[in-house]
Amino acid sequence: MNRPPQSLRDSSPRGGASNAPTRSSPSGGGGAKRRRGSARDNLVYAAVWLACAAPLAWLAFRAFTGDLGVNPIETLVRQLGVWGLRLLLVGLAVTPAAVILKKPRLVRFRRTIGLFAFAYVTLHLFSYIGVDLYFDFGQLVKDILKRPFITLGMAAFVMLVPLAVTSTNGWVIRMGRAAWSRLHWLIYVIVPLGVAHYYLLVKADHRPPLVYAAILAALLGWRAWRKLATR
Ligand code: HEM
């Protein structure tokens, strides 16, 4: 969600190749080659989609088979949160991976990964409100005001909503690419808030959130370095 969909971007090494469906001509070797490329693209896309959906399917399976441990609600809320955060980080890692591996077409998957991250975080929030708080919205407001980790999580979620809503090509056209890109810079606030949310809620062992913080720092550091280097 942090960059315009590729069908609206250039095919420079920074931007990546087009996201638009490949049109294959009915005849000629070029057409066959394009059709093969397109079939491979679809396969890779299906693999990315399955990889993003697999943790949710596994969690659902564990929930239905009563395999979520002694505190199933906590496990559910936490697993959805941690997968939301992981996918947000994977989304941020796509551009560095595309540049370093010289595979500009990788950036096509950013939108899918971003939308999956949003889905996990939304389910994380709803499982907390529904299963943990029994839809007690008064308690939710109290939590937002009194528990700093909830305040930060909620701030991150509120900022994620416009990014998810405007993730379509139609919105890029409606807003104009510059305004769209400015809005999607919010991702650089959202992910640190997600990591801070995690850090604050952990009571004893801070190593796991610190690992996520280190990955985030590396990804942001790479972007800052690249911006300076390409000036
Ligand atoms: C971008 C937004 C968010 C991200 C990335 C996120 C991520 C996480 C992560 C990584 C965890 C810890 C998982 C673990 O311990 O393994 C967590 C736990 C939790 N989050 Fe979020 N979260 C977000 C938003 C929210 C929101 C909006 C709420 C509620 C209003 C919320 C409520 C909670 C709760 C209650 C826990 C479990 C705390 C506990 O068990 O002690 N989160 N979240």
In a domain, 13, yes or no: no
For residue 15, what pLDDT is reported? Answer: 35
CA–CA gap between residue 223 and residue 187 (Å, rounded): 13
Residue 190 CA, closest ligand 1 atom number: 1
Cα of 94 vs centre of ligand 1, distance in Å, is 23
Q: Which residue has the tokens 């930060």?
A: 152
Cα of 205 vs centre of ligand 1, distance in Å, is 16
Nearest one of 9, 185, 215, 222 to 230, comparing CA atoms: 222
In a domain, 210, yes or no: yes
For residue 1, what pLDDT is reported? Answer: 56
pLDDT tens digits for range 145-159: 999 999 999 999 999
For residue 106, what pLDDT is reported? Answer: 93
Count Cβ neighbours within 10 Å for each residue of 143-153 and write b for 16 or more, e otherwise: beeeeeebbbb
In a domain, 170, yes or no: yes
Residue 114 near ligand 1, beta carbon < 6 Å: no
Which ranges of the chain have pLDDT less than 50?
A: 2, 4-27
Nearest one of 213, 166, 209 to 186, comparing CA atoms: 166
In a domain, 169, yes or no: yes
Range of the domain at 135: 31-229
CB 110 within 8 A of CB 2: yes
CA–CA gap between residue 53 and residue 58 (Å, rounded): 9
pLDDT tens digits for range 124-181: 999 999 999 999 999 999 999 999 999 999 999 999 999 999 999 999 999 999 999 9
Number of independent structural domains in the chain = 1
Residue 157 near ligand 1, beta carbon < 6 Å: yes
In a domain, 18, yes or no: no
In a domain, 19, yes or no: no
Residue 215 near ligand 1, beta carbon < 6 Å: no
In a domain, 103, yes or no: yes
Residue 193: CB atoms within 10 Å: 20
Residue 216 near ligand 1, beta carbon < 6 Å: no
Residue 82 near ligand 1, beta carbon < 6 Å: yes
In a domain, 60, yes or no: yes
CA–CA gap between residue 128 and residue 62 (Å, rounded): 18
Rounded to two decimals, the pTM is 0.88
For residue 40, what pLDDT is reported? Answer: 84
Question: Token digits for 151?
Answer: 């305040």
